[in-house]
Structure 1
């Protein structure tokens, strides 16, 4: 059986099609032909042709190699058969790693994957949209995750109050719904969709601090933001800290906290810079004391007292903090989900590990230390943590990172003082340089939450 081919209609011949696709047996193949013509008018011809070229090898592969329950897969079969075929094609023909996640699949390109993976998935999704529109395919689009659409609808209707619908926007009591949403695709190409270049920006913390300064952040917001960048923690793990969490560690640069899934148990620690320690203590003894019911300083506060308070003297919440964060990001036109500070931390640490390690063994050891620090899930992990994670070595490497951050912050401020023309700030890292990462570590990065 030969390849799928396409030919333009010869001059002088009248036809409803300007292009015809032929299958491996040189017979007209109308599904792809009709898809191409359905695309024209919706997208430009060059894009429609690019989609077609991406799909031709896949349809040949369906005819020759595909296998689902012992049979070749045909393009018009139910979604479960199509999805199984696409997953096999991505892994076996395009060299991708595919991982199951809830109701969809994560797709990660490898060093042997072509650059056309994203285009192929978009083309196939478009193909089934066309064939459904033309009433040629009798099922739901197999390239769309219907549960994602349902979850998005729920997020648009549920408010921050438990089991309550969203208040109308005019009420001004709930944050507006962001326009950006996750893709509804069943196959999500994560290393293209969820790794924005801003994560590699060494000046990102300084930009965020300056944005906060412009909207008059209090010391509370600044301390929280600094801790996010310096520790790689989730926002809630910082905002909900208590005085006892700080007292529980022997090192004044460290604080105990909970983890996602630990149900409030303090199962890991965070480590931050000496400058942030000074700001934290200043906040507790000067700013916080104004809103504490009994005007207590650090030494007088009980262990269970929340470190961060609202102006009403109640424990600070994520929702209250996010208002200040989003206002600063909007004011300075920075598109940054606060959770991306966690990814920035991991990216920065990884680059430093690869830039400073002298042997493969050292890289492996230091990345294991980082994984145990950033991905500690529950108290049972303590045994593995103690075995693999040398706290002192992490402190040494972490101190170097914190020193570098302090220098970059000074450099950024000096540059903005002497350059009012908003010229691009020189970047000290070349994010275009590929870094070969251990497959196990890549799995960790792909699943980072």
Structure 2
């Protein structure tokens, strides 16, 4: 059966084209499903985010409250401490007021006693004073230090004591033997009086005549054991004449011990000694620690009583030298310049008070300042060298002048 075109188009159109109402319904259904899923997601995750924010805020509030509580406790502690201090102050004030009241009462009682004593002394008859007592009082008023007895180290270099090298053993410390008498708190190890003799002798001219009471020896600083070569046993004699030909024993068998680690060890002279006044002593060293060949002596002292107080030697500070603080700075910062160019005589440093500013300078000072000698020698050598250089320059100039004249004469002869 044959169909026409209109029928065919109507048939195909009915099959291929759909209803527009149905497509709109499908689109609205899908959009509603999307909105529902979004609302669910927002609802669930929004609640979680909100809970997180709330919990975070609660944590911050808890931390802040804890800090506030700790601060409150601190303030309570401060307040309690202040309260205890105020209580103590009040108690102290009460005590001070009570003590002041007691002191005032005692002063009043003392005033009453003094009044009674003054009345009694006025009523008493004047006592007779012995004429000798009056004369003694007058003498003391005129010269209060005349009858005083001074206990001093009369073997101190700064008071004027010296080593008598003529009647002492030979020493490595040539020209500076007096360093053994320089009274320093810590004598240096490399500046000792050393002798190779079997039983060396050291003779000392004291600063003044004294009645000896004790002698002492101090070695340079040591720990636990005394160094080898330091004196161990020695005797001390008083010289009765200038040449020490007649002597009298002051103390015997003085032993420098390592027990106690005491640097200076003092040996009192027996009180029954007949020696009255001496001006020279002699140390005789019998043994040394380690039984070595060389005996090295650091510092000796001779204590005694004297009516005359010796005066410390005065040394004028070299105007070309530095002040004490400058010496200290140069000693620590420029040791080469300090050793070679600074004036560091022991007497100058001690008498001008540099030892309190720079103790190290005084520990390593020189009796004879080699810096000045070196400067003088350097100056002489420099002057000789300068004169030699000037002479050589003059000779050279004269030679050049003669050579020019000779060349000129030769040229003139050729022409």
Per the normalisation by structure 2, the TM-score is 0.19
Higher relative contact order (CA 8 A, sep 6+): 2
Per the normalisation by structure 1, the TM-score is 0.18
